Amino acid sequence: MSRVAVVTGASRGIGAATVCGLAAAGWQVVAVDRAGDDPRIPYALGTRAELDAVVGRADSLGDRTGSVLAHVADTTDAQGMAVAVALAEDRFGGLDAMVAVAGVIAGGTPLWEMPDEQLDAVLDVDLVGPIVAARAGVPALLRRPAPRQGRFLAVASAAATKGLPMLAAYGAAKAGVAGLVRGLAADLAGTGVTANAVCPGSTDTAMLTESARLYGLEGTASFADQQAVGRLLAPEEVAAALVWLAGEASSAMTGAVVPVDGGLGL
């Protein structure tokens, strides 16, 4: 029986790579994205065309046509996320992994100078979003009959443990994600459902391009110098960790916050 996942932030970056990685591993996936800009955020977010392209690419990697479905929803909206979970259960028969990837970045100023709307957006998308995903997804994970191997996964950041200048709100939200999975792991003890997070370093995504702009840099290349591997990470490298954590081999891990950061946190 194929395992089933819901993945947020699916139109590009780590989310898109995770959708494709899961599909290639034989999963059925509901790929969720806002598929439109957030007026509070000063850079372009993923589009419906990008989401559809990811779904098409991922579907071609799966065992059969129709194994990946697109769903447009604001990941901070409880009703929209409930519909995504219902889609997984109705079309694919259940849910085995809820993967909260969606994120935004904003800042570039000290916290006390950050515009209110940007502060709200960072806290909403980066922390409230994973909380909403957990509240929508965990009950479905628990609806699988025992013995079950459900997975709640979230993307935090190296900023969860490393202070980054002019990104205090982003770091606070990502630290909150780390706390979220630890608390969920305690709540889920003995159920067969685990909760873990990954902390990416500087990854070649649109968010990193925005980070460079916030710091007044001409491009993202200089971020590579901060990482022991001497390069930016590819989204697929972070996704590979998420795909592994979603699988049965990670059954001994829960409440873990795993650095996939190229040594940024050293």
Catalytic residues: 170
**Residues 149 and 96 sit within 8 Å (Cβ to Cβ):** yes
Within 10 Å of residue 1's Cβ, how many Cβ atoms?
A: 8
Chain-centre distance of CA 242, in angstroms? 9
241, 260 contact by CB (below 8 A) = yes
Pairing of strands 97-100, 68-72: unpaired
Cβ atoms of residues 183 and 134 within 8 Å: no
Alpha carbon 178 to chain centroid distance?
13
Instruction: Identify the helix (H) or strand (E) that includes residue 99.
Output: strand 97-100
Dihedral angle, C-alpha 145, 185, 105, 72, nearest 10 °: 10
